[in-house]
Structure 1
């Protein structure tokens, strides 16, 4: 089977399975009902992202079988992704204690870092060796990314558009640099997520759910760390492409903690949530994220990968307008403080 055919099959599988998951959610009354912390106004089925998880993991198994993906990294992604998706699925169906979830997140992240061989050899800023500390940072990076992806999945299409534009941007960079890194896995992710987003954007017929949002965050993090094993500049390109989610979630969390809120308190004070209310449109906000990713972050990520200047400096340049936007939309402030 050719890669192109596998991509088509993966898209059709995700699209069809999402429709099935919608019927399943309606039948089992797995519904997100609006409340004071919601960004939506209509009761909507959730859990459609399970279709993405199933389709993508089967696609990766297909890549391994066809010889396009080394079994070591492929099996790591499949096992870790399945565990996080299963945890999210169980949480969607019945609340799991936050500390239990976090403990499992850390165990999975540690397992991934060990499976990838660790990162003690990684250097930053043109030669600064981190040693074992790099492994700790890698674990924290995975745990934060999978959680922030969950936090940022709050309006129609935003989590899907972030994933699609990020992986296609990186795939384009890999292609432009003739990188040995596997871009097929990124094309397959874009295809499976696109199969879901047709049900979720511009009007949501079903939500993604924790099973998929955490899964996407983890898997994107694994592919970013896999790039780090090859070249720090490529890892920096990943960090840039994921900048909208990283900056919004991190800026919001820091401001809320400094204001005395608990880390896991539910809220709707992310910049994207304020933007969707300000413009009274999920669609405009999500398309704004798409525009930022393609028009600003993709070129900056390419400059990082090409090492036009120190990649870490390019991250700072790329993030500056994102931080300004977070401040403009009052990310992290409660609505009573507006």
Structure 2
């Protein structure tokens, strides 16, 4: 059963669907270059000229088209009806709220409220983390605690991807790599919905990326970064149900280890420094590295490599016994700590005393 989804006959069709969605996304992104919301430069942004944003419209529309086709014609890759409707409703909600934020720049509390509603749609459908498989323990029932855990997981990854979207190609490239790794892992493990949905999102991002890297003709905007973060988090919730793999809820955090580490480190650092964490800033590690003289394209590629490392770690993690698996899971953290010291050293050499401005 698990091999049929990656069979010689099925895989070409799936890749053809991804390619078709990439073309559809690219057409919409090209249209948005002409009519997109202008993103004006300021002291906290990396770009120096007015550039259209909301290129994420192409990603969103391509993904939603793919999901609707999957809902109508899919068989093996379908979720149970309530879950499927919850996914579609949540995707539409997060896309609508984030697009509105691109247009009118809503207060953060309002934006967070919209994200909360989208996450609530997922929970109401019944798609939440209620059982996890732990090494040496077996299956642990989280009970009602799984509801706030799932909500926090969805909101944190959604905002982490939004915060990391500050250099051309960074968030889009990380999303594409994460989707391809997740599709491969889910295909082998028989996670048919995650496999197909990851390819759908990858198709949307693939159509957008050439317009954003190496030169940024258009930006994702919140409609792209929040949507990608939310959908990857939702895939992570679904992956937690992989019965064949203990601690499978860590698969998406592994894939996004560079993003999650940067955001968490920056949040902790700013809190300890007494800074207003709700205020916009340019103190993320990737931003400090760029301000310290690293080429923006190089910083982006480094984060792509972090995503590749996360994917390889995830594969090694699910392929080894319980005890060695725990050590394997520490590899991305060690790499991020080395990266932190490197960025700090470059910042000192560049005379950057205060990271956040």
TM-score by length of 2: 0.86
2:315 to 288, 302, 307: 302
Structure 1: gaps of 5 or more residues = none
Structure 2 CA distance for aligned equivalents of residues 274 and 40 of structure 1: 15
Give the TM-score normalised by structure 1.
Answer: 0.90
1:86 aligns to 2:96 (yes or no): yes
1:56 aligns with 2:63: yes
Q: Is the 8 A contact 2:18 2:203 kept in 1?
A: yes
Provide the C-alpha distance between the structure 1 equivalents of 2:85 and 2:24, rounded to a whole number of angstroms.
21
1:108 maps to 118
Which residues of 2 match residues 188-199 of structure 1 at below 5 A? 188-199=200-211
CA 44–180 in structure 1, closer or farther in 2 if over 3 Å, else same: closer
- Determine if contact 2:29/2:208 at 8 Å carries over to the other structure: yes
How big is each residue's C-alpha offset from its partner over 1:85-140, in whole Å with a ceiling of 9 and x where there is no partner? 11111111112122122122223223312323443333545435533222211110
- Residues 125-204 of structure 1: matches in 2 within 5 Å? 125-127=135-137, 129-177=141-189, 179-180=191-192, 182-204=194-216
1:11 aligns with 2:11: no
1:266-277 to 2 correspondences below 5 Å: 266-277=280-291
Contact 2:168 2:213 in 1 (8 A): yes
- Distance in 1, matches of 2:344 and 2:88, equals 38
Cα distance in 1 for partners of 2:23, 2:200 equals 12
Cα distance in 2, alignment partners of residues 119 and 191 from structure 1 = 27
Partner Cα distance (2:341, 2:221) in 1: 28
Q: Is the 8 A contact 1:240 1:297 kept in 2?
A: yes
Q: Is the 8 A contact 2:62 2:204 kept in 1?
A: yes
Quote the Cα distance in structure 2 between the aligned partners of 1:319 and 1:179.
27
1:224 corresponds in structure 2 to 236
Q: Secondary structure at the match of 1:106?
A: helix
Q: Structure 2 vs 1, CA of residues 11 and 285 (structure 1 numbering), >3 Å: closer, same or farther?
A: same
For the aligned residue pairs, the C-alpha RMSD in angstroms reads: 2.5
Counterparts of 2:330 and 2:177, CA distance in 1: 20
Cα distance, 1:327 vs structure 2: 4.1
Counterpart among 231, 240, 257 of residue 243 in structure 1? 257
